[in-house]
Structure 1
Amino acid sequence: MQTEEQLKQIVKDKYAEIANQSVADNKASCCGAGGCSTEVYNIMSDDYTTMEGYNENADLGLGCGLPTQFAQIKAGDVVVDLGSGAGNDCFVARAQTGEKGKVIGIDFTPAMIQKARNNADALGFNNVEFREGDIEHMPLGGNIADVVVSNCVLNLVPNKDGVFKEIYRVLKPGGHFSISDVVIVGQLPEALKKDAEMYAGCVAGAIQKDVYLELIHLNHFENIIVQKEKPIVIPNDILKNYLTDTEIAAFNNGGSGIFSITVYGEKPGTVIVEDATGVQAANTSSCCTPGGGCC
């Protein structure tokens, strides 16, 4: 089994490769991970083309939902997109937050950051920026975002709990997130869970749906809602690369399922902080930070 750092490097290498592929190649593949299916459709992504702000050059077909459709972004909001890729969700968010708002995309793949910046420059947007960084350690201050969005990214991160802690940190009190992600109900075959390519292809890195939702609860978010849920069916011509015919039949008929869910949650206006001893306390000021001190 790979270490967390090895898994991150696998994802970084794969998504650097994707950044340099054509959009057509990405959309004809399994989560953009390569030409792994003879069926010409992306098995996870939703259709963005009717959404205001959509830009074809920024749509690499790598998502598994439409978080910006559900994110309740208002004019003037500061929006942060985790795993921003070529900028697709950032540009849709920019259409919603307007010229007075700000959109910040974070991605740890340099080739993706450059692709997104090129797209933003071509569109003439001066209130959309892209920062290279790990979403487990975001290059952002605390309490700055009104809304956090992400599309099929947390399943690629080994330390999902760390990401939710960072989302909590960067959101303003009363701010919220809308995240589309891949989760599992039941058990994946071991061959899929252990394969690095399936990890980079958004499946093997997914965790149980109930565990995913519990992580959100444990990180003090409230008013948590599953806004959308859809099944994801992996075509047999992909499965046969990892499983025997007997194993494929057992998997398809065994009651296990892979789902895309879009989840909403709010950071409470009364912020929960912990001191060095782990004792929780309420911090009701919107301009106070867990590090101490009020403006």
Structure 2
Amino acid sequence: MDALKSDEIRQAVRQQYGRVAESGGAGCGCGPTCCGTPTASADTLSQGLGYTADDVGSVPQGANIGLGCGNPQAIAALKTGEVVLDLGSGGGFDCFLAARQVGDTGRVIGVDMTPEMISKARAHAEKGGYRNAEFRLGEIENLPAADGAVDVIISNCVINLSPDKARVFREAHRVLKPGGRLAISDVVAFALLPEAVRKDMTLYTGCMAGASLVSEVEAMLQECGFTEIRVAPKDESKSFIGDWAPGTDIAEYVVSATIEAIKPAT
């Protein structure tokens, strides 16, 4: 984290995912070759991450860019009427799935710092008639949401991109209602990343070099006041993470994981 300056990281991430949004990005995965030739469709990639064919077929065409590393919907247990906040909402894929689950009495808010992604998601929402979903331009370290306004926070392979993850979790704790919960898929490290990897901006924007150790994630969540913390690495994800950076041994250091936690009710 110290190897790269925060502003430099944010600028690089914003530029990278702005290019992804403008290019369509379908089937690129989270690796650094997102703007190259896709090796698989976004729908195929998403089904490999745990989404169903019904999931990928139910959202507006183009909303699924294939940028995830898991399926936060699988652990979110969303209920009718809940307010959901998606950190790094991209083209809106997870937001639209969540909107279907919370229904007309619920609400979904997507936050992304890339203007091109926000424009893309808003267009999809308009096209699909999602009146219970909105998209706000902002940084996940400074969430454009009120204190205690959200029941559930979801996120898919985004927090690893932040240069200040502790602040992200503090913001998440702030905006959650008492009893609110985190349901996150992200990339975490299970071994210390070599300095050369941490300094590689391409690997950073590709969702690998910024990964925190599992123990660090747990500590950050605990310091914020979260309880019932569970970080569950998925060893099977090493296969697709290796494809994100061919010719490297990055899968020997990072893995996809689900991250769950609760903001205490009192």
TM-score normalised to structure 1 length: 0.79
Q: Distance in 1 between matches of 2:73 and 2:245?
A: 29
Aligned-pair distance for 1:23?
Answer: 4.2
Q: How does 1:49-68 map to 2 (within 5 A)?
A: 49-52=52-55, 53-68=58-73
Residues 145, 138 of structure 1: CA spacing in aligned structure 2 closer, same or farther, 3 A cutoff?
Answer: same
| Residue of structure 1 in register with 2:6 after alignment | 4
Is residue 138 of structure 2 the alignment partner of residue 133 of structure 1?
yes
Question: Matched residue of 1:81: which SS?
Answer: strand
Q: Distance in 2 between matches of 1:149 and 1:226?
A: 14
Q: Distance in 1 between matches of 2:161 and 2:113?
A: 12
CA deviations on 1:199-221 (whole Å, 9 max, x unpaired) are 00000010111111111111111
1:261 paired residue among 251, 257, 264: 257
Aligned-pair distance for 1:238?
Answer: 3.1
Q: Distance in 1 between matches of 2:82 and 2:244?
A: 44
Conserved 8 A contact 1:99-1:127 = yes
Is residue 238 of structure 2 the alignment partner of residue 232 of structure 1?
yes
| Residue of structure 2 in register with 1:48 after alignment | 51
Aligned-pair distance for 1:78?
Answer: 0.4
CA deviations on 1:168-193 (whole Å, 9 max, x unpaired) are 00000011110111011112233222
Q: How many residues align?
A: 257
Question: Matched residue of 1:232: which SS?
Answer: helix
Q: Distance in 1 between matches of 2:121 and 2:213?
A: 32
Q: Distance in 1 between matches of 2:129 and 2:244?
A: 42
Q: Distance in 2 between matches of 1:211 and 1:98?
A: 36
Unaligned 5+ residue runs, structure 1?
271-295
Q: Distance in 1 between matches of 2:243 and 2:140?
A: 33
Q: How does 1:269-280 map to 2 (within 5 A)?
A: 269-270=265-266
- Give the % identical residues: 39
Q: Distance in 2 between matches of 1:264 and 1:32?
A: 29
Conserved 8 A contact 1:33-1:200 = no
Residues 228, 78 of structure 1: CA spacing in aligned structure 2 closer, same or farther, 3 A cutoff?
Answer: farther
| Residue of structure 1 in register with 2:223 after alignment | 218
Question: Matched residue of 1:76: which SS?
Answer: coil
Aligned-pair distance for 1:47?
Answer: 4.4
1:73 paired residue among 78, 95, 98: 78
Aligned-pair distance for 1:26?
Answer: 2.7
Is residue 126 of structure 2 the alignment partner of residue 121 of structure 1?
yes
RMSD over equivalenced CA pairs, Å: 2.5
| Residue of structure 2 in register with 1:19 after alignment | 21
Unaligned 5+ residue runs, structure 2?
none
Conserved 8 A contact 1:144-1:170 = yes
AA matched with 1:14: Q
Question: Matched residue of 1:111: which SS?
Answer: helix
Q: Distance in 2 between matches of 1:58 and 1:31?
A: 20
AA matched with 1:7: I
Residues 146, 87 of structure 1: CA spacing in aligned structure 2 closer, same or farther, 3 A cutoff?
Answer: same
Residues 216, 134 of structure 1: CA spacing in aligned structure 2 closer, same or farther, 3 A cutoff?
Answer: same
Which has the larger displacement, 64-73 or 148-157?
64-73
Moved >6 Å (runs of 4+): none
Residues 36, 138 of structure 1: CA spacing in aligned structure 2 closer, same or farther, 3 A cutoff?
Answer: same
Residues 112, 98 of structure 1: CA spacing in aligned structure 2 closer, same or farther, 3 A cutoff?
Answer: same
Conserved 8 A contact 1:31-1:61 = no
Conserved 8 A contact 1:73-1:93 = yes
| Residue of structure 2 in register with 1:183 after alignment | 188
Aligned-pair distance for 1:229?
Answer: 2.4
Which has the larger displacement, 167-176 or 47-56?
47-56
Aligned-pair distance for 1:224?
Answer: 1.6
Computing the radius of gyration from Cα coordinates, the structure with the larger value is 1
Q: Distance in 2 between matches of 1:227 and 1:97?
A: 25
Aligned-pair distance for 1:54?
Answer: 3.9
Conserved 8 A contact 2:85-2:154 = yes
